[in-house]
Structure 1
Amino acid sequence: MFQGSMVAIITPFDAQGNFDEETYRQLVEFQIENGTDVIVPCGTTGESATLDYAEHDQVIKACIEQVNKRVPILAGTGSNATAEAIAISQHAKEMGADGVLLVAPYYNKPSQEGLYQNFKALAENVAIPQVLYNVPGRTGVNMTAETTIRLAEISNIVAIKEASGDVIQASEIIARAGDKINVISGDDFLTLPLMACGAKGVISVTANIMPKEVKSMVQAVQEMRWDDARKLHLQLLDVHQSMFLESNPVPVKTASALMGKCRIDMRLPLVEMQENTLEQLKTILKKHSLI
């Protein structure tokens, strides 16, 4: 269910800083029209860390309503407190999400056993397909391949979004547990290498602004058109890199605003791009005829 070209969709805000639901629904339509396989609301790129509980539900609900079962929805519901993650995940399930994306608990830096027990408790308490999310650059802790392989034995843990940047770690998961858990790239620039090793797709930042192109590259790999895939990978590389000129989602939201798709507003502590990085971003967007 959760494979192919998947977008970690941004969350637009209006001039008052509130969730802009009308614009959000338009962004969802843009993704579906351009072939995106799965919509992922309330991830890191969706500024989930600055949404309160009511807004979190509102964003997921709007996504579910707008998609209207046309593609699966993988709702970000992780937390640094297991009980809180269980509650948010249960609510997402009740609203109609097809699965939940669960980031490793951040800030409190649990041990590998703590990570295992956290995800085990979530799986046992919320009967919905679950995708683990390993992003040590955000959480402060790397979930090892060994821990993921242990968790792969739990039936409703179906995939892991690997954003460790470690191709060897992702490959080890595929080699030892690829029949039990899907690996999904969490880094756009590693999608081709990881899919060549057996990963099933990407949860993409770049797809917010170039959904058709990201889908084309993923599809080329799926169809084993390696020359096409490599060409598309190299064409998109500078865009992927530009999405991290500053902390995600600042560049991608700025790019979306420059393309006229939403306002540029983000919530503190995120601020607008600095002038030097903004000019770099504009140069790349112009090169690809996006602005």
Structure 2
Amino acid sequence: MNAAYLTPAITLFHEDGTLDFESQEHLFNNLIENGVDGILVEGSSSEFFAMPMDQRREMAKFAIETVNHRVKLIIGTSHMVADEIVNFSNFCLDAGADAVMILPPYYFHFGTEALLQYYDRLAAQIHGNIYIYNFPDNTGYTIPPQTVLALAKIHSNIVGMKDTISGMDHTRELIKVVKSQIPSFEIYSGFDDNFAHNVLAGGNGCIGALSNVVPEVCSAWVRAFRENDLDGIARGQQTIDRLMDLYAVRSPFLPVIKEACKLRGVAASSTGTFPMPNATVEDDAKILELLRREGVE
């Protein structure tokens, strides 16, 4: 059974807020060497929302050059100004990104007609593949499956969707509504523990942040699916279910993911964008306990 696990890569900074390209390259190489199927940069886990556009372009260019087509690379180009999205998306695609990923407009809630107009305009002006990003916890509303289907029928460059919802109800409906008519349309879950359910329901897998920390665990889970290894699938589910406790160490969870990468020797610093809190000594103890419980060092 086919499946894919993509990593929404964290962005690594020096303590002065500049990009730590040495650690970032180490992270990308570690992900690829440990078997992830693709990398998303400048998604929610990347803190795009607190990065100026010149830094976002710098990060995108570095990611494109470093990943260098070894795996699929998607760049998150979400912004509150549509023209900025178009310009940034085409910049990324021209530089060699495989696709871009775009949230719906946030702050205000928009209905079906506005969402159709929004993505219709973007897709008509962006000359490359687009993934829709549905994250209702952060945008305040969800994108209906029928809207996604309508857009995918109008624009062949709208090729997939990341559905970041804790349950599977909405994702399952997306799979039924959209993939039944456009089988090539890719649907990924945004929470790691929904990976197996997504694949078994007919989706494509997961874009989950735990893979920053334990890419080897996530890629082994994918292999179990590809080899129809039921015991391996069950082990993967149970391991990820326990590792989901990392998300609960503190809120927001990004400092914990970064600190876990630092503790595993992947990142030099866990510095985040202001006002993202730093991980604490108490957090470190919890992180190490969770990782050691799963035999991860």
TM range (shorter): over 0.9
Alignment partners' CA distance in 2, 1:15 and 1:289: 30
What's the counterpart of residue 169 of structure 2? 168
- Please list the CA deviations of residues 174-224 of structure 1 after superposition, one character each: whole Å capped at 9, or x if unmatched: 112214222111110111111110111211201101111101112322333
The unaligned stretches of length 5 or more in structure 2 are none
Alignment partners' CA distance in 2, 1:236 and 1:171: 20
TM-score by length of 1: 0.93
Alignment partners' CA distance in 2, 1:203 and 1:237: 16
**Is the 2:64–2:73 contact (alpha carbons within 8 Å) kept by the matching residues of 1?**
yes
Is 78-87 or 261-270 further displaced after alignment?
A: 78-87
TM-score by length of 2: 0.91
- RMSD of equivalent CA atoms: 1.7
What's the counterpart of residue 158 of structure 1? 159
Identity among equivalent pairs (%): 25
Q: 3-state SS of the aligned residue for 1:75?
A: strand
**Is the 1:80–1:108 contact (alpha carbons within 8 Å) kept by the matching residues of 2?**
no
1:265 CA displacement: 0.7
Letter in 2 for 1:236: I
Count of residues in Structure 1 that have an aligned counterpart in Structure 2: 289
What's the counterpart of residue 271 of structure 1? 277
The unaligned stretches of length 5 or more in structure 1 are none
Is 14-23 or 78-87 further displaced after alignment?
A: 78-87
1:282 CA displacement: 2.8
What's the counterpart of residue 36 of structure 2? 36
Alignment partners' CA distance in 2, 1:192 and 1:128: 29
What's the counterpart of residue 258 of structure 2? 253
1:269 CA displacement: 1.6
1:277 CA displacement: 4.8
Say whether 1:210 aligns with 2:214: yes
Alignment partners' CA distance in 1, 2:162 and 2:121: 19
What's the counterpart of residue 225 of structure 2? 221
1:15 CA displacement: 2.6
What's the counterpart of residue 290 of structure 1? 296
What's the counterpart of residue 182 of structure 1? 186
Alignment partners' CA distance in 2, 1:278 and 1:13: 19
Change (3 A) 1:240 1:130: same
Alignment partners' CA distance in 2, 1:149 and 1:241: 34
